[in-house]
Each structure stands twice: as structure tokens, then as C-alpha cells.
Amino acid sequence: MKEKLILVLNSIYCVWGRISPKTLAKHIFRKSLGRKLDFKNPVDLNEKINYLKFYSDTSSWSRLADKYQVRTYIEEMGLKDLLVPLIGVYTTPRQIDFESLPNEFIIKPTHGSGDVVIVNDKSKIDINKLRKDLKKALKSRLGLLRAEPHYLKIKPKLVIEQLLKEDSQSVESCSLVDYKIWCFDGNPYSIEIYYNRTKHDVKCLAYDINWNNITDSYFDFKGKFTRGESFDKPLTLETMLHSAKILSQGFPEVRVDFYLVGGRVYFGEMTFTSSGGYDNTIIQSRLNKMGELINI
């Protein structure tokens, strides 16, 4: 029953997102944050992200949010060494020759968010079911569901990359550790860390760029988000901060994500509409401070 309700709601949101994405954004904003979205006087991080969605030039957002096209940008910026090795890119699941793939890999829809497929042992997957799931993923329309129009300009494809292993990290975690660096006008501001991800829980931390722990003045823990234990400063912190600075030049705001595996820094993604602009996990005073750094 719950799944049917979600399908119906998603269908409604898709129609709504096509007809009037601004109105849908206002609805989701109020539903998520309990207050009105004011496009005329945006103040905090969430409000300004939504303002930028609809009232700024987002032409480059589509290219850089694309899980495949962004690789070219990384190379153009002289950071090719940060890229996770590419295995292949496909327009349909039928094009994938699973027999030729390595035993471990990861599949990412170019136009999605959080809908990756991790394969740790190719011999254990149901290829027919996986192809059906991937076909469904290619048809998903995040841009409509979350009122994020720039995603609609991304051509849906499937990217297969080398699988980065969590047991090759310097930090003990059952999942890859995400180092998410918020940048404003090319200046790194904070580092959000997510690790030990499971279906029901994810550990979170926040540091400033000098590696001072600011978790308690940053996160409003709720739901599956819980406070993590302090991390030692990564030896590659300066590499991540320098790379984030280069990649974020010319953008009012963007979050640049990295992984640290086997002593190497790997690029994750660039996100211009973090949480869609409806983030309820950051405390309001921090959202206000971050909003002040966005020039619109």
C-alpha cells in the first residue's frame, strides 16, 4: 500500500514539476522545512539555492551534475588524476556486456542522485533483474520530482566505474567515507563527512577548513543522521581543499565531494542543489551564515 502511494505521489509531482516547477519547489520547501519559500528575499542557504535554480544561469550545472560529462571538466581543470577509472558508458542496459566486466564495479545513472548500483561479486547478481532495474533508473526524472530543472537537461546514460573499496580507507567504515566540501565563489568553507552508511543510519561530522570540529554548531541530527566520532586530519586534506577551490571557481555555491581510498584522493561529484535546496539537517544559524556567503 505504501509503495502504491509513493508511486501515485511521484506521478503527481512529475506532472506538477513539468507544469510549474517553482510552485512545486515552494510546496516541497514548506513540507520539508515548515515555512514559506520567499523568492523575493532569499536569506539562508536553502532559499538561495532555490533562487539560483530558477533565476540564475544554470547552463553549466547540467554538464557538471552529469556523472559522465563532469569527467571532461575535471580533465580540463588539470585534475585528471582524481578521476575514478572509467570502465564504460552506455545508453541502454542491453549494451552492457557483463561477461567482459571485472568482478567488482559500480554503475551510476548520469542524471540521478544516490541511485548507484554497487556490485561486489558479479557471479551473484541476477543480470536480467539488474537490467530491468537499470532501465527503470534511466526513466527516472529527479528534475521533475524535486523541482531541479537542470537535471532534465542531462541525457540519461549509465556509467560504470572501478569500485572503490571501503576496506582500503584509513578510517574504519562499512561504507565509503564522503568528504563533502562546501564552496562559495571558489572558496572552501566547510567539510561535511558521512560514513558508516546503512539503510537506517549514517554517521555525520563537520569541520572547518582548518580542521576544527564544528559538528555541534552545524548539524541538527534527526532521523537516520547521527553524530559521528572525531576524525584525524587527513594527510590529503590540502589536496582536497585545493582541488575544491579549482573546481568551484566562478560558482556562487557548489558542494564538491571526494573519497580518500588507498592514500589517494578521488573525485566524487559536484552538487549545485544539495538536498534539492530543502536541507533540514543543518541548523538554522549555520544555514544563515552559509547563505550570507552566496552573492545573487
232 lies in some domain:
yes
Q: Indicate if the pLDDT at residue 5 is higher than 60.
A: no
CATH code for the domain in which residue 230 is found: 3.30.470
Confidence of residue 18 (pLDDT cuts 50, 70, 90): confident
264 lies in some domain:
yes
pLDDT at residue 232, rounded to an integer: 93
248 lies in some domain:
yes
Q: Which three cell numbers stand for residue 116?
A: 548507484
Residues 141 and 274: their CA atoms lie apart, in Å, by: 17
Residues 289 and 221: their CA atoms lie apart, in Å, by: 18
Q: Are strands 178-184 and 254-261 parallel, antiparallel or unpaired?
A: antiparallel
Confidence of residue 9 (pLDDT cuts 50, 70, 90): low
Q: Indicate if the pLDDT at residue 1 is higher than 60.
A: no
Distance from the Cα of residue 126 to its chain's centroid? 27
235 lies in some domain:
yes
Residue 109 φ/ψ, nearest 5 degrees: -70, 135
Q: Which three cell numbers stand for residue 32?
A: 520539508
Tell me which residue range forms the domain holding 210. 59-83+165-271
Q: What would the pLDDT profile of 61-103 be if each residue is shown by its tens digit?
A: 999 999 999 999 999 999 999 999 999 999 999 999 999 999 9
Give burial (CB, 10 Å; 0-12/13-18/19+) of 9: exposed
Q: What would the pLDDT profile of 212-260 be if each residue is shown by its tens digit?
A: 999 999 999 888 899 999 999 999 999 999 999 999 999 999 999 999 9
89 lies in some domain:
no
Listed in sequence order, the residues at least 6 apart from 50 whose beta carbon sits closer than 8 Å to its beta carbon are 25, 29, 37, 39, 42, 277
Residue 94 φ/ψ, nearest 5 degrees: -65, -25
Number of domains in the chain: 1
240 lies in some domain:
yes
236 lies in some domain:
yes
Looking at every residue in the chain, the average pLDDT score rounds to 93
Task: Give me the amino acid identity at 156.
Answer: P
Q: Which three cell numbers stand for residue 228?
A: 559521528
pLDDT at residue 144, rounded to an integer: 86
Rg (CA), the chain: 19
pTM greater than the 0.85 cutoff = yes
